[in-house]
């Protein structure tokens, strides 16, 4: 959070496309590095790790996500939108779902080797049964969804709250809007971090019917578990 918070704040207040692209690039670089470090860490998964491929996928995902994140401001500047409703949608509301989608996209791209090669699945006693691509896909998709909810909500909710505060004239001094915005973003991010982490358990569960036949042939267990990562 000490690094995430300032990056979220800086990314949310940009008014120029170039600046937005730069800070989106920095933001996604940080979250991608976090994803690389906190992916599935089982020993069997490490045998299949492809760091060079992951780095290339990560760089591509970061560049693409930064471009997508800057698009609303590019659109605003290019077409000089004056309508207040369009400005509200393009500048205030659209960036949040875009950030949520691009955050999920970077997770899926960087951790794609996990569902390409599979991750370890274990029985209830912690004994490794085999390597499952379906478990890897489930782990990556759950992490991507939680990341989308975390950053999408952290971008969207403060904009809504600040709009309501300004419309209701609860903040009398215009100079106080900046500190209030930072406090609101910090509060939402602090609240959303435990929510996103608790959406899916760290030790994920997958049913027998969802696993590959070659794994099922070696055991009679009905429930299997895997390390989801963060």
Has residue 179 been placed in a domain?
A: yes
* Total-model pTM: 0.86
Q: What is the pLDDT of residues 95-111, one digit of tens each?
A: 889 999 999 999 999 99
Domain carrying residue 96: 4-119+132-202
- d(CA 112, CA 54) in angstroms, rounded, equals 8
pLDDT along the chain (230 residues), means of 10: 76 78 93 86 52 83 93 78 71 86 94 86 88 92 95 90 79 76 89 91 88 85 87
In this structure, what token pair is assigned to residue 92? 């205030």
Has residue 229 been placed in a domain?
A: no
Q: What is the model's pLDDT at position 124?
A: 87
Q: What is the model's pLDDT at position 41?
A: 64
CA angle 14, 18, 21 (to 5 degrees): 75
Has residue 212 been placed in a domain?
A: no
Has residue 26 been placed in a domain?
A: yes
Has residue 220 been placed in a domain?
A: no
Has residue 230 been placed in a domain?
A: no
Side-chain half-sphere of 170: how many Cα atoms within 13 Å?
10
Q: Is 203 exposed, middle or buried (0-12, 13-18, 19+ CB in 10 A)?
A: exposed
Q: How many domains does the chain have?
A: 1
Instruction: Give the DSSP per-residue string, 143-206.
Output: HHHHHHHHHHHHHHHHHHHHHHHHHTT----GGGHHHHHHHHHHHHHHHHHHHHHHSS-SEEEE
104-107 long-range Cβ contacts below 8 angstroms, 24+ apart? 104/144, 104/145, 104/147, 104/148, 105/61, 105/64, 105/65, 105/144, 106/28, 106/31, 106/32, 106/35, 106/58, 106/61, 106/62, 106/65, 107/35, 107/140, 107/143, 107/144, 107/147
Q: What is the model's pLDDT at position 126?
A: 85
Has residue 39 been placed in a domain?
A: yes
Has residue 80 been placed in a domain?
A: yes
Share of the chain above pLDDT 70, in %: 91
| Neighbouring residues of 191: CB distance < 8 A, sequence distance ≥ 6 | none
């Amino acid at each position: 959070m000490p690094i995430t918070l300032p990056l979220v704040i800086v990314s949310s207040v940009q008014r120029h496309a170039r600046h937005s692209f730069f800070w989106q690039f920095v933001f996604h670089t940080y979250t991608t590095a976090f994803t690389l470090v906190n992916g599935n860490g089982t020993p069997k998964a490490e045998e299949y790790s492809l760091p060079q491929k992951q780095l290339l996928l990560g760089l591509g995902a970061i560049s693409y996500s930064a471009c997508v994140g800057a698009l609303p401001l590019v659109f605003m500047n290019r077409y000089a939108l004056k309508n207040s409703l369009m400005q509200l949608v393009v500048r205030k509301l659209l960036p949040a779902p875009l950030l949520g989608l691009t955050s999920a996209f970077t997770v899926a791209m960087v951790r794609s080797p996990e569902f390409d090669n599979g991750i370890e699945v274990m029985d209830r006693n912690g004994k490794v049964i085999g390597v499952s691509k379906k478990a890897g896909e489930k782990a990556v998709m759950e992490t991507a969804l939680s990341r989308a909810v975390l950053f999408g909500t952290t971008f969207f909710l403060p904009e809504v709250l600040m709009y309501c505060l300004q419309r209701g004239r609860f903040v009398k001094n215009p100079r106080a809007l900046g500190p209030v915005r930072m406090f609101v973003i910090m509060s939402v991010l602090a609240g959303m971090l435990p929510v996103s982490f608790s959406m899916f358990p760290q030790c994920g569960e997958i049913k027998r019917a969802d696993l590959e036949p070659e794994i099922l042939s070696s055991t009679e267990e009905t429930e299997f578990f895997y390390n989801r990562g963060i």
